[in-house]
Structure 1
Amino acid sequence: MSIQLNHKVIAVTGGAQGIGREIAKHLATAGARVAIGDRDAEGARRTAAELSGDVEGFDLDVTDTESFAAFLAAVEAKWGPLDVLVNNAGVMWVGNFDEEPESATRRQLDVNLHGPIRGVKLAAPGMRARGRGHIVTVASAASKLSPPGESTYAATKHGIFGYLSGVRSELHKSGVQLSVVMPGVVDTELAAGTATGSAKMLQPEDVARAVVAVIAKPKFEVYVPAFIGPALRWVNVVPQALRDVAMRKMVPNQVTSTDRSARAAYESRAVTGDHEGEKS
Structure 2
Amino acid sequence: MRGAGARVAIGDRDLPGAEHTAADIGGNVAAFALDVTDTASFSGFLAAVKSSVGPIDVLVNNAGVMWVGPFDTEPDDATDRMLAVNLHGVIRGVRLAAPPMRRRGRGHIITIASAASRLAPPGEATYAATKHGVLGYLTAVREELRDSGVRITAIMPTVVDTELAVGTATGSAAMLYPADVAAAVVTAIEKPRFEVTLPSYVGPAVRAVGLLPQRVRDVLMRRMVPNQVDAVRDSTVRADYEAEALGRDGIGDPTSTDES
| TM-score class, shorter | over 0.9
Query: Does the 8 A contact of 1:32 with 1:54 survive in 2?
Result: no
User: Which residue of the partner structure matches residue 81 of structure 2?
Assistant: 107
- Counterpart Cα distance in 1 of 2:97 and 2:215: 43
Q: Does 1:252 align with 2:231?
A: no
Identity %: 63
Amino acid at match of 2:154: V
Choose the corresponding residue for 1:154, options 128, 145, 164: 128
| SS of match in other structure, 2:170 | coil
Query: Does the 8 A contact of 2:153 with 2:192 survive in 1?
Result: yes
Structure 2 unaligned spans of 5+? none
- Cα displacement (A) at 1:258: 2.2
User: Which residue of the partner structure matches residue 276 of structure 1?
Assistant: 255
User: Which residue of the partner structure matches residue 143 of structure 2?
Assistant: 169
Q: Does 1:202 align with 2:137?
A: no
Q: Does 1:139 align with 2:118?
A: no
Amino acid at match of 2:27: G
Query: Does the 8 A contact of 1:89 with 1:111 survive in 2?
Result: yes
Choose the corresponding residue for 2:15, options 29, 32, 41: 41
- Counterpart Cα distance in 2 of 1:206 and 1:279: 20
Structure 1 unaligned spans of 5+? 1-26
- Counterpart Cα distance in 1 of 2:95 and 2:68: 29
Query: Does the 8 A contact of 1:136 with 1:178 survive in 2?
Result: yes
| SS of match in other structure, 2:8 | strand
Query: Does the 8 A contact of 1:140 with 1:181 survive in 2?
Result: yes
Q: Does 1:75 align with 2:43?
A: no
| SS of match in other structure, 1:262 | coil
Query: Does the 8 A contact of 1:88 with 1:137 survive in 2?
Result: yes
- Counterpart Cα distance in 2 of 1:251 and 1:215: 29
Amino acid at match of 2:255: E
TM-score by length of 2: 0.96
TM-score by length of 1: 0.89
- Cα displacement (A) at 1:279: 6.2
